[in-house]
Copies of this chain bind each other. A is one copy, B any other.
Amino acid sequence: MKKPAVIGKNVRKLDALEKAMGTATFTTDISLPGMLYGKVLRSPYPHAKIINIDTGKAEKLPGVEAVVCYKNTPRVKFNTSATSTFTIPPLEPVEDQYIFDSVVRYVGDEVAAVAAVSEKIAEQALKLIEVEYEELPAVFDPLEAMEPGAPDLHGPCRAGKNIPGEKIHLELGDIEKGFAEADEIFEHTFKLPVQKQAQMETQAAVAQVTADGRVTVWSTTQTPHPSRRIIATIFGLPYSKVRVLNPPYIGGGFGVRIGLSAKAEPIAVALAMQAKKPVKVVYSRREDFIASDTRHSGYVTVKTGVKKDGTFTARQMEGILNAGAYCSWSAETPGVLGAMGLSVYRCPNQMYDGHSVYTNTTPAGAMRGFGNPQAMFAIESQIDIIAEKLGIDPLEIRLKNIMQPGDKWVLPYPCRSSGLAECIKKGAAAINWQRRGKFDKTGTKRRGLGVGIGTHVSNAWPFCGDYSNAYVTIQQDGSAHLAAGVPDMGTGTVTTLAQITAEVLGISYEKIGVTFADTESTPFEIGSHASRTCYASGMAVVAAARDAKKQILDYAAEMLEVEAGDLDIENDTVVSTSNPEIKAPLSEVAVQAHLKGRQFIGVGKIIPENAPPWLAHFAEVEVDTETGQVKILKMVAAHDVGKAIHPQIVEGQLHGGLAQGIGYALGEEIKYNDKGRQLNDGFHKYMLPTAVDIPELKAIIVEAEEPSHPYGVKGVGETGLVATAPAIANAIYNAIGVRFFELPITAEKVYRALKE
C-alpha cells in the first residue's frame, strides 16, 4: 500500500476558521424574508386529558399569524427518532406520537404552538391559549409502571402494558449449564440516572413551504434523510418534495437529534403551512431539557458465573429502562445495552433480557453510547468485585477474558481485529498502574486507581438499516467535490471525509470541496449516529472516489496513450507507475476531458459491515473522606480506533467522551419531583463538569486496522464515555473501599457512605 499522503495527518479542519471567527451558520442564524417565530405551549401536567382548548384569543393578538394544536394538524402518528427509516422487519417501528394530541403524557408535552412576527408576541400569544385539562394518574418509575395498577399510557402494546416495541432477548450457549459449571456466582443490580446530552445548540428548525406545497426544513437534525421521511409522512408529501438540510453546522448532537430535532421540524412546518410564511422554532434551554430526549435511566442486573481461576462460565443480564412518555429509541436501546454488555468478554453461556417501560417523564432516546455506558457501569463494576473476591488483579482478569477475533459472541457480525489487550497495557503504563494498592491510606485524602474496558460499534448495520452513498466529481481544474449526506455535528466528519477523498484521488486536501447534510444535494445517507460516519459514510466516499478515479485514469490512458492500469494519481498529477516520465497534471487531464464532453462523476453505494472498536479507560482519583468530594487526578483512554484518519479529531472525540463520562459518573442527573417536573432543567441546576472538574486527559490511539474498511477505520464517536464511569467507580472503590451501585457518585453519596 502506498504511504498515505493525507490520512493520518492533522490537516486544518474544514470548519475551523469559520467556527473560530464566529461566522459559521447554524439553524438559529437562518433568516428568511417574512420569517415568523414559533413558540410552543407545553403541558404543566405529567398526564392529563385536554378537555377543551380555545386558541381564539391568541389568534386575534396582532402579529400572530398561525396557531396550531391537535385540532388543525395531521392525525398521523410518528416517532421523533429515525426508527421509521432504521427498523428492519420483522421488527416494526413504534409510532406513538402526534405533533399534538388531546392527551399529554409528561410535563413539557406539546399542547399548541404559535407563529408570530416576533418572539415576544408569540410568547404573549401562548398565554392567551386557554386549555382545560383533566388530570390523569401518573407514574415515573419504570418498575412501578409495569405494576398492574399503574396508569396505561398508550393503550395496548405488543410486548405488554407500557412496553414500547419488543422485549429483547439475546442468548448464547446454555446459561443454566454455565451457572452450574461456575465456582462462584455474582449478582448485582445497578441503577442508572437520567443524563442529558447538553449539546451546545438547542433543538431548532426553520420551515419554508412553497405555494405549491414543497417543504424545505433547515434543522439541527443528525439525520436529514430519515428526518425528511418523517416530515413527508406526517404531511402526506412525496419524499422528493421535502428537503431537509443542516445550515450546514449544528452545535453538537450526542444523539439527541437522530431523527427530528425533538418536534422542532413538524411544528415549524405546521405553522409555516398555516401562516404561508417561513417559521423558525428554536427551543429554549429549558425546553431542550424538558421536551427533548435524554439518556435512558433504569436498572441493569448482572449475574456472572466464574471459575476460581477467573474464567467466566455464564453471564446473564437484565436491563429495564425508563422510556419516558414516548418511545423514541426506547425499543432499540435495551438491545444495544445487552449486546454491548455481553461482547467485551469471552463467555460461552450468555443471556440477556431487556426492554423499556413508558412513564410520565421526558422521553428518553439516543445519547452517545446508546445503552452501552449503562451496561458497562454494571459489567465493569462487577468485574472488579469478582476480581477482588478471587484475588486477581483487575487487569489480569480482564486480559484473561477479553474477546479475541474469531471468538463466538452474541453479535451478528464477526470480530476481525482487536487492539484491546494493547489498549489495556498501554493505558496501564500511562496511568502507572503498578502504584495501585500502594497509596498511603492514612490521611483524609485517599487515592485510588480504576479501570474499565469496553467496545462499541462502527455503525448500526445489521441491527438496522444503515448505509451510505456519496458522489465524488472531478472539476475542470482538477479539484474535486464530495457530496455526502452526513451531517457534521462538530465531530470533524466533513474534514475526515475530505481527507479520504483526497487520499483516494491523489488530489490535494485543499482542493476538495464538500457538500453535506442536505437531502437534495446528496444521495441517500442514513446520517450521523452510531459512531458510523468515518467507517460507513467513509466507505461510500472511498467507493465514490475510486469510481471517479477510474474514470479519470481511463480517460488519461487514452490521452497519454498508455494502459489505464499503469496510471495512478499523485500530488495532483496523473503518472505512469512504470515510467514516471509519462505524466500529466490532473488539471490538464480534466480540462482536456471537458473539451471532449467527458466528465468524471463517481458514485459510491455501500452496504457497510460493522466492526468493534475497543477501549480501556483508567482513572486516578482522590477522595476527600471528610467531604465525600471525588477529585479526578488523571484519566487515560486507550482506544483501538482501527486507523486514525485525523489524530487530533480522534483525540478530541476521546477527550469529549471522557468529560461527558466524568459528568455521568460524578454529577449529571435529571431528577423529577412528585408532580413529574424536572428539578434540573437548566445549566444552573444540571451540573455539567466544567474546566476545573476535568483532569489531565490522556488519549492513546491504538491502531489495529480493521479489514472491513478500506483504510482500516473503526468507530470512535461514542467510545470515549463507554467505560469512563466504571473506571472512576472502580478507582473510588480502590481509594475508599466503598462500592457504589448507582450513578452519579455525588459527594453527598460518598459522604453518607463513608459515615455508614
Identify the A interface with B (CB < 8 A).
14, 16-18, 20-21, 23, 29, 31-33, 85, 88-89, 210-212, 214, 229, 232, 238-241, 243, 276, 461, 465-467, 469, 471, 473, 475-477, 479-481, 483, 510-513, 515, 518, 520-521, 523-524, 594-599, 601, 603, 605-608
Contacts and interface: CB of A to CB of B under 8 A. Distances in A.
Given A238-B475, A238-B479, A595 B211 contact: no
Contacts of A594: 85, 465
B475 A601 contact: no
B23 A29 contact: no
B33 A31 contact: yes
A215 to B, nearest CB: 11
A25 to B, nearest CB: 8
A116 to B, nearest CB: 19
Contacts of A32: 31
Given A240-B513, A241-B479, A523 B465 contact: no
A465 B595 CA distance: 6
A500 to B, nearest CB: 15
What is the count of identical protomers in the complex?
2
Contacts of A518: 521
Contact of A240 (B471, B480, B521): B480
A140 B461 CA distance: 71
A599 B469 contact: yes
B239 A479 contact: yes
A29 B35 CA distance: 13
B473 A523 contact: yes
A479 B239 CA distance: 6
Contacts of A523: 471, 473, 599, 601
**Pairs of residues from A and B, 10 with the lowest C-beta to C-beta distance, nearest first:** A240-B513, A238-B479, A597-B607, A467-B597, A239-B475, A521-B521, A240-B479, A17-B212, A17-B211, A21-B211
B240 A17 contact: no
Question: Which among A14, A29, A476 has the greatest number of chain B C-beta atoms within 10 A?
Answer: A476
Contacts of A595: 88-89, 465
Given A14-B212, A465-B595, A603-B603, 6 more contacts: A31-B31, A465-B597, A467-B597, A475-B524, A524-B599, A524-B601
A481 B513 contact: no
Contacts of A467: 597, 599
10 contacts: A17-B210, A17-B211, A20-B211, A31-B33, A238-B479, A240-B513, A461-B597, A469-B599, A469-B601, A513-B520
Nearest to A209: B23
Nearest to A547: B603
A10 to B, nearest CB: 16
A518 B518 CA distance: 13
A521 B520 contact: yes
A592 to B, nearest CB: 9
Nearest to A478: B238
A85 B595 CA distance: 9
A17 B209 CA distance: 12
B475 A23 contact: no
A172 to B, nearest CB: 26
A29 B18 contact: no
Contact of A33 (B29, B480, B597, B607): B29
A176 B510 CA distance: 60
B473 A524 contact: yes
B603 A239 contact: no
Contact of A483 (B88, B520, B607): B520
Contacts of A481: 239-240, 520
Nearest to A480: B240
A286 to B, nearest CB: 25
B475 A240 contact: yes
A29 B513 CA distance: 27
B605 A603 contact: no
A671 B194 CA distance: 78
A518 B243 CA distance: 15
Contact of A513 (B214, B473, B521, B601): B214
A605 B596 contact: no
A480 B605 CA distance: 17
Question: Which among A88, A238, A477, A515 has the greatest number of chain B C-beta atoms within 10 A?
Answer: A238
Nearest to A520: B515
Contacts of A239: 475-477, 479, 481, 513
Given A29-B33, A238-B511, A603-B601, A212 B461 contact: no
B238 A513 contact: yes
A212 B510 CA distance: 11
B238 A510 contact: yes
Contact of A476 (B29, B31, B229): B229
Nearest to A540: B599
A528 to B, nearest CB: 17
Nearest to A19: B211
A708 to B, nearest CB: 15
A449 B276 CA distance: 51
A18 B512 contact: no
A520 B473 CA distance: 10
A305 to B, nearest CB: 38
A120 to B, nearest CB: 20
A232 B511 CA distance: 12
Contacts of A599: 467, 469, 523-524, 605
Nearest to A602: B603
A18 B210 contact: yes
A475 B17 CA distance: 36
Contacts of A480: 240
Contacts of A471: 471, 523
A512 B214 CA distance: 11
Contacts of A85: 476, 594
Contacts of A596: 607
Question: Which among A20, A23, A240, A521 has the greatest number of chain B C-beta atoms within 10 A?
Answer: A240
A507 to B, nearest CB: 9
A148 B243 CA distance: 61
